[in-house]
Amino acid sequence: MKFLTILFATLLSFNTFAYKPTLSQRMEMADLLRNSKYSEMIKLFDAGYDPNDIVYSNINDEDMEVRYIHIITSSAVDNDIKKDVQETLKALIRNGAWIEATTGTGRFPVYQASTFEKLKILHEAGADIFREYIRNDGYIQPARDFVRTAKGLDYMYSLGMETDCDYVQVNFPDIEDKWYMHHHGMGYQEYCFPW
């Protein structure tokens, strides 16, 4: 039933008026991104600009298939106005961006997402929040390994992500006692080393 709900929501959100942009339109969109003009990007996506267009660059290989959803979910834009970034991500999704799109190096939006807000937007749109990342060397990186913020950790944990003592201690040492006390009623030492 959940699958059908997600499928129906995805079909409803797809912009049937999406157009394939010309080279000059692609260059213009890439320039808006480079200059953090998110409100103008949103207008173009809502007007039908293909939300799955590969980001134009004269230095990047198009075979890498880096799309706007990859750039907007990445940590590279975290220093920009977060609300604008979130609204751009919502506009991409609303207009049919592929929330599971994979780059030529195997990265995907949930992997790229670097804040709780972006993770939540992607999850609510139906993205697989526990999708694993398979590196070029074959190593399978579980979803918990690419959670980058304490709020993101809490969100993933609330959705059923399993953690272990080493993970929280290594990745979030500044909050480990508070986190364990909040979730398990005891500090890191008591929870992880009860003997």
Write out pLDDT tens, residues 55-78: 998 766 666 899 999 999 998 777
Residue 119 region by backbone torsions, left for phi larger than 0, else alpha for psi between -120 and 50, else beta:
alpha
Question: Which CA distances in Å does 100 have to 68, 108, 131, 145, 187?
Answer: 12, 6, 9, 18, 37
Question: Which CA distances in Å does 5 have to 10, 119, 128, 141?
Answer: 9, 19, 14, 29
Mean pLDDT of 111-123: 92
169's enclosing H/E stretch is helix 165-171
Side-chain half-sphere exposure of 11, counting CA atoms within 13 A: 6
Is the pTM higher than 0.85? The answer reads: no
Mean pLDDT of 2-23: 59
pLDDT tier, 80 (very low <50, low <70, confident <90, very high otherwise): low
Give the SS3 label for residue 131: coil
4's enclosing H/E stretch is helix 2-13
pLDDT in tens, 130-184: 999 988 888 898 888 888 888 888 898 899 887 778 778 787 888 888 888 888 8
| Burial of residue 113 (number of CB atoms within 10 Å: 0-12, 13-18, 19+) | buried
Rounded CA-CA distance 193/118 in Å is 34
